[in-house]
Structure 1
Amino acid sequence: MRLVPLALAALLALAAPASAQNVRNLAAINGWTAYIAETNGQQLCGMGTQANNQGRFFWIKVERLQGGLHGFIQLGDRSWNVRREARGRVVVAIDRQTADLNYTGTSQPDMIEASYQGAFNNFVRFVEAFALGLRMQVTFPGETVDPWIADLRGTRAVTEAFLACARRI
């Protein structure tokens, strides 16, 4: 499964923290990038894309919080104007597998963030499915946002670099 609709493309660009002192790309293929960022001794691994002409992005990130790994997704569209406290649902479907996530608005009005609910191992399985996927679709139930669709072919190397990074931090 690959998480690369147009939403994933934009997430990668925003996935690195603004205050990151050190960001290093681990792999890049067909507009998808895996990276590691370090800020004040904290490491974050991410992957995603912003290579689209619609101003959309989709990023998958993992970092260690309070001793445990935490997976989340950031997505957005330059045309959005989302309130910081806005809440809703986003459904990410990769081929025949889906993840139903709750999101909140961020300090950036063109971006929302969704924490992956459930055990971290489920998040890893979700990312692994992304690596094997052919097509991703992101929908926003209850919102007037058209579904985002992305071709995931060729993203396996980026996903493998992301997972290797996540296992090291």
Structure 2
Amino acid sequence: MRRFILTLGALLALAVPASAQQVQNLAAINGWVAYIAQSNAGPLCGMGTEANSVGRFFWIKLERLNGDLHGFIQVGDRAWNVRQGATGRIVVGIDRQRAELNYTGTNRPDMIEASYRGAFRNFINFVEAFAGGYRMQVSFPGEDVAPWSADLRGTRAVTEAFLACARRI
């Protein structure tokens, strides 16, 4: 898993779709975008937002590794200085549902990455909750980081494009 995270971190060095090779945007609305990218490991589906003027970003990504689909979330802030390999927890709340994820610091000090684990039954249920949600809140228990909040209105179209991408890879 560590090798996967390091490889993925290197491939997505800027944590935005444009940083991957051969990127194709699939849908965009209300500041959220879905895309497919060709990485060294194969196709990668993603959706997220560059967020806003405060420098935050949130990406949900899906990649096929050794025949299995793996979901993960990347969260970042240009003001962060997280050491590589640092660990902790984040909680992603979508309306009344919550998923708790363990994160690892990446090779970028402004980004953390979490493999999907949580209260949602599986990653696709998490993505579907995202599509139907109105508001998302991301919190960082035990850290000196204020919770983030994001408007999810309009994400259904972006999520449907993401899920169609996931079915193709």
Distance 1:74 1:15 in 2: 10
Distance 1:125 1:64 in 2: 18
TM (norm. structure 1) is 0.87
More relative contact order, 1 or 2 (CA 8 Å, 6+ apart): 1
Letter in 2 for 1:52: N
Distance 2:61 2:156 in 1: 16
Which digits, 9 at most, give the CA deviation of each residue in 1:24-81, with x for residues without a partner?
0000001100000002460000000013111000000000011100000001000000
- Structure 1: gaps (5+ residues): 1-10
Q: 5 Å matches for 1:12-161? A: 14-16=15-17, 18=19, 20-40=20-40, 42-117=42-117, 122-161=122-161
- SS for the counterpart of 1:34 is strand
Aligned residues: CA RMSD: 1.9
**How many aligned residue pairs are there?**
156
Distance 1:15 1:138 in 2: 19
Distance 1:146 1:21 in 2: 34
Consecutive aligned runs of 4 or more in structure 1 exceeding 2 Å deviation: 15-18
- SS for the counterpart of 2:122 is helix
**CA distance change for structure 1 residues 35 and 93 in 2, over 3 Å: closer, same or farther?**
same
- Residues 80, 110 of structure 1: 8 Å contact kept: yes
Letter in 2 for 1:156: R
Structure 1 stretch displaced more, 48-57 or 76-85 = 48-57
TM (norm. structure 2) is 0.87
